Amino acid sequence: MTGWPRMLRRGLALFPAFGILTGLFFMPIALLLAVSFWSVRSYRLVPGFALDAYARTFSFYGPLFISTMLIAAAVALLCVVVGFVFAYGARFRSGRYGDLFILATMITLFGGYLVKIYSWKAILSANGILNSTLLWLGLVDTPVSWFIFNRGAVIVALAHFLLPFAILPIYSALRNVPDITLEAARDLGASPWTTLVRVVLPQCKAGLVAAFAICFLSAAGDYVTPMFLGGGSGIMLGQFIVSEFSTRFNWPVGAAMSFSLMGVSALVISAIWLAVVGRRG
């Protein structure tokens, strides 16, 4: 019986934290989930249980769903590849200066999100820095219009913003790779590529998947970047979720779109986790 008072004290000690988490996170999420099954009549929410909002989500916004997932996957893959190269260099090729590179990575997080978006808009626009440079060098006669307002601009801007969030978990995973394992691989005659593929990557799979998940989820739910840089071809689902909640006042559809996006994203991350981390050997 002595264990029960101890467990009770621990439960009481954790109660404030669970209460805050429930009040600020779980209850709003549960309310939004309930709203996704409601309906709207004359701009008024009508409680009930209907799947009309989910049916509209996948029938009307299905192609946009696929486009959003592809853009998010492209951003996440780009961040993971570039982030791994940077983190690998900081961990194994920079010596005592590796921590300075990571510090520089963290400093980039201090810049505002909107500042970075407007910076890319200033770089890629018709009268921006890139076009001005090309015109000054005589490489083009007129400004290049396809630098901006497309999926490529959205991917580049999102990757620039999310890259530090990929570098940090990858670098943390690489810090757990012992130097002695690399020395042993070299002593056994393994080439640098073999060492990378068979020694380093298997030991940092969790960090790679974590970096992919952070970047993928952040990109999939973003709406500010495509609104400023996407144009007609770079539209993402988040923009329509915002419009359903604000201008159209169709909260059930907006909630259904939000939970559908969360569900599909969770399935993608789970599949990648099982394929990369959950696989034995």
pLDDT per residue as tens digits for the range 132-184: 999 999 888 888 888 999 999 999 999 999 999 999 999 999 999 888 888 88
Question: What per-residue confidence (pLDDT) applies to 262?
Answer: 93
In-domain check, residue 36 = no
What is the average pLDDT across 77-96? 93
State yes or no: pLDDT of 76 exceeds 50. yes
In-domain check, residue 16 = no
User: Domain of 131: which CATH number?
Assistant: 1.10.3720.10
In-domain check, residue 42 = no
In-domain check, residue 25 = no
In-domain check, residue 26 = no
Q: Poorest-confidence range of 12-16, 60-64, 110-114?
A: 12-16
What is the average pLDDT across 195-220? 94
Number of independent structural domains in the chain: 1
Question: What per-residue confidence (pLDDT) applies to 233?
Answer: 82
Residues of the domain holding 134: 55-276
Question: What per-residue confidence (pLDDT) applies to 281?
Answer: 47
State yes or no: pLDDT of 1 exceeds 60. no
Q: Model confidence at 4, in pLDDT bands (50, 70, 90)?
A: low
In-domain check, residue 17 = no
Give the 3-state DSSP-derived string for the chain, with helices as H, strands as E and coil as C.
Answer: CCHHHHHHHHHHHHHHHHHHHHHHHHHHHHHHHHHCCCEEECCEEECCCCCHHHHHHHHHCHHHHHHHHHHHHHHHHHHHHHHHHHHHHHHHHCHHHHHHHHHHHHHHHHCCHHHHHHHHHHHHCCCCHHHHHHHHHCCCCCCCHHHCCCHHHHHHHHHHHHHHHHHHHHHHHHHCCCHHHHHHHHHCCCCHHHHHHHHHHHHCHHHHHHHHHHHHHHHHCCCHHHHHHHCCCCCCHHHHHHHHHCCCCCHHHHHHHHHHHHHHHHHHHHHHHHHHCCCCC
Question: What per-residue confidence (pLDDT) applies to 279?
Answer: 62
In-domain check, residue 81 = yes
State yes or no: pLDDT of 111 exceeds 90. no
Question: What per-residue confidence (pLDDT) applies to 54?
Answer: 93
